[in-house]
Amino acid sequence: MKVDNTVAVAREAPEPPASGDDLALVARLLRKDERTFSSLVDRHHGVMLRVAQTMVPSRAVAEEVVQETWQAVLEGLPAFEGRSSLKTWMFRILVNRARTRGVREQRSVPVGIVSDGDDAPEAIVRALWSGGQSAVRATPETALLDGELRAALETAVEALPETMRAVLTMRDLAGWTADEACDVLGVTEANQRVLLHRARVRVRAALNLYLEGKQA
C-alpha cells in the first residue's frame, strides 16, 4: 500500500487506462515469468535512468533510484489495478522517488552550455541547416545516431534545467505522448508544451554551435 500512497498525484486530467496488453503482462509477471520482466527492463530501464538523472545530482544516485523503483514496482504489482497504464504507473513511482532523493541530496544544478534560448545569427542557422541535413541523410531513417553528433545532443540535453530535461527526455528521446508526460510529471498540457518548446529551442541552439564548429 506504501506504493499507492507515493504515486498518488493530484491531477484531474483523464489518465489513459491500462490496455489489455498491460494487464496480460502484469499477469505474466505475477506468475514470475522472467522473460517478460527482462523485456520490461530492456524497454524502460534506460529511460528511467535518464529521467532519474534529471532529478538527482549524479548518475550513481540515479542508478540507485532506478533500482529502488524496480523493487517498488514489484512490491506494488499485486495491487496494480490498471487505472493508468503500467508505464505511467511505473514512472510515477520513479519520479516520486527521484524527487524525494533529489531534495535530500541537495542536487547541484548543472551549468548550462547554452545560456539562454536566444537566437543564433543567421549564418549559424544556415550552418545548422546544411550540416544537420547531411548528418540526417548519412543515416537511414530508423538508425540510431552514433559518434560526435550523438554526444553533442546528449551534452545539450544534460545541460537543460530539470523539468525541461524531463519533458524532453520523455517526449523526444523516449517518444512518449504528451498525455503520458503530463501524467507522470504532474504538469498541465499547456505547461508541458512551453517546457518542451524551450527545451527544443535550447537543444537547437546547441546544435547550431556544434555544427558551426564543425564547419569552421
Partner 1 sequence: MATCGQPSQRATDYLEGALSTAGRLAYFAHLARCGDCRAELRQLRLTVSLLGRVGPPPVSGPARADVMASFRRWQPSASTPAVHAVPLSVRLASRLDRLLGGSRGLAALAAVLLGSLGLASLIRPVPGAAEPALAGLECMGTELLAGLLPLAAVGVLAWQSRRALSANVFAVAAALGAIAGQAAIHFTCPEIGMRLHVAFHVAGVLAAVLVGAAVSGLGNALARPRAARG
Q: How far is CA 139 from CA 92, 129, 190, in A?
A: 35, 16, 34
Greatest pairwise CA separation for the chain in angstroms:
60
Question: Does residue 172 belong to the site contacting partner 1 (CB under 8 A)?
Answer: yes
d(CA 179, CA 193): 11
User: Nearest distance from residue 101's CB to partner 1, in Å?
Assistant: 16
Q: Which is nearer to partner 1, 9 or 145 (CB)?
A: 145
Binding mask 66-105 for partner 1 (x = CB under 8 A): xx--xx--xx-xxxxxx-----------------------
Question: Interacting stretch for partner 1, rule CB under 8 A, among 3-11, 87-95, 101-109, 117-125?
Answer: 117-125
d(CA 40, CA 45): 8
Q: Which is nearer to partner 1, 10 or 20 (CB)?
A: 20
Question: Does residue 178 belong to the site contacting partner 1 (CB under 8 A)?
Answer: yes
Residue 74, amino acid:
L
**Nearest Cα to 170, choosing from 159, 181, 160, 162?**
181
- 187-216: which residues touch partner 1 (CB under 8 A)? 189, 193-194, 196-197, 200-201, 203-204, 207
Question: Does residue 32 belong to the site contacting partner 1 (CB under 8 A)?
Answer: yes
Q: Which own/partner contact pairs does 182-185 have at CB distance under 8 Å and 24+ positions apart? A: 182/11, 182/13, 183/9, 183/11, 183/13, 183/15, 183/16, 183/84, 183/88, 183/92, 184/88, 184/91, 184/92, 184/95, 185/95
d(CA 206, CA 115): 10
Question: Does residue 135 belong to the site contacting partner 1 (CB under 8 A)?
Answer: yes
Question: Side-chain half-sphere of 110: how many Cα atoms within 13 Å?
Answer: 20
User: Nearest distance from residue 79's CB to partner 1, in Å?
Assistant: 6
User: Contact positions toward partner 1, by CB under 8 A?
Assistant: 20, 23-24, 26-27, 29-32, 34, 37-38, 41-42, 45-47, 49-50, 63, 66-67, 70-71, 74-75, 77-82, 117-119, 122, 125, 128-129, 132-133, 135-136, 139, 143-145, 149-150, 153-154, 157, 168, 172-175, 178, 189, 193-194, 196-197, 200-201, 203-204, 207
